[in-house]
Amino acid sequence: MSSSSTTSAAEPTLDSSSSSKIECAIHPSETPPTQAQIDIVRYTWERVSEIHLDTDNPTVSATHAFGLAFYDALFKLDPSLKPLFTNIFQQARALAGMVSYIARAPNVTGPNKPQSTTSQNESHINKLERVPTIREINAKKRKETNATTFQELVCSVATNHSTKAENDEEGDSERLLYKLRELGARHYFYNVEPRYLALVGPAVLSALKIRLGKEFLPEVAEAWTRAHAYAAYHMKIGLESQAAWEQGRQKSATAKINSYSKNPHHNIASCSSKERNG
C-alpha cells in the first residue's frame, strides 16, 4: 500500500504536567513509540485487566469494561458516531481483543531491514512456537527492576533507557504494520472516515483514566498517546487505500454504464452479431 496520500503529522504531544489533561484530538504520526513506551503500554494493559470497579457489570471482564468505557468516551467526543455501532456490548469486547493483540505485537522501534533466507526460515520456525502472553513478557521484563507497585514500575521503565528492543524475540514487526493497515482497510466498510481516527486516542486515554484512577500517570498517558498515533498512522494508510480502490472500481463501473447508455444500438447490434456467429 502506498502512503503518499497520508501526510505525517507532528510528533504527538500530551501535557505531561497533569495526568488529568487529555487532548481533544491525537493525530496519526509515523513516529514509532520507544521500547520503554511499548513496555509501559504492556504493563498498563496488564494492570487494566486486574482492576474491577464497584460499578462494573459482574458478567464482563475488566478489559471488556475498558472497552465499554472507551465507547462512552468516544460518543461524548462526537455523538454523531453512535449510529455507526449497532452492538456496543459486542464491539467493546472486540476492541479489548484488538488492544490485547496490538499491545502484545512485535516491537516497532527498529529500522526495517530485509531478511536473509536464513532469517526467514528461522522466522517461520519461530511462528510455530508458542507465543508468550503479555503477562509472561511483563514478568520477564519486571525482573530487571526492583519495583513493587505499578507506579514504581512505570517510573522505573520511563527513567531507565537501557532497555533494548533487540534483546527481545518478539517476531516480525512488518506483520504488525500489515495487520494495522488491514484493520484500517476493514473500517472503510464500517463507514469510518479518516478524521475519526484522531478521536480514538482521547477516548482511549479517557477510558484508561477511569479504569486506572490514581494510577493514570503522565508517563502512561504519554506512552499510549505515542502508541495510538503510530497505530492510527498505519490504519489511516489502509483506510485511505481501500477508499481509493473502491472509488476507482466505482468509476470504472460508471464509465461502462455511461458507454452503454450513449451507444445502445451499437451494443444491441454487437450482441446480435455474436448470436448469429454463435
DSSP state, residue 112? P
pLDDT at 223 over 60: yes
DSSP 21: -
Q: Give me the pLDDT at residue 114, please.
A: 40
Per mean pLDDT, which range of 2-11, 36-45, 124-133, 165-174 is the poorest?
2-11
Give 52-100 pLDDT, tens digit per residue: 999 999 999 999 999 999 999 999 999 999 998 989 999 999 999 999 9
- Alpha carbon 109 to its chain centroid, in Å, reads 16
Per the model's pLDDT, the better-predicted residue between 129 and 181 turns out to be 181
Q: For the residues 135-145, what does the mean pLDDT come to?
A: 88
Tell me the per-residue pLDDT of 254-277, one tens digit each, with 9 for 90 and over: 767 766 666 655 555 555 555 555
Architecture of domain 35-108+126-240: Orthogonal Bundle (1.10)
CB 209 within 8 A of CB 53: no
Amino acid at 148: T
Domain boundaries, the chain: 35-108+126-240
* pTM exceeds 0.75 for this model: no
Q: Is 277 helix (H, G, I), strand (E, B) or coil?
A: helix
Q: Any idea which residue has 476493514 for its cell? A: 186
| Closest to 29 measured CA to CA, from 184, 244, 236 | 236
**Residue 241: which region, alpha, beta or left (left: phi > 0; alpha: psi -120 to 50)?**
alpha
Count Cβ atoms below 10 Å from residue 105 Cβ, excluding itself.
20
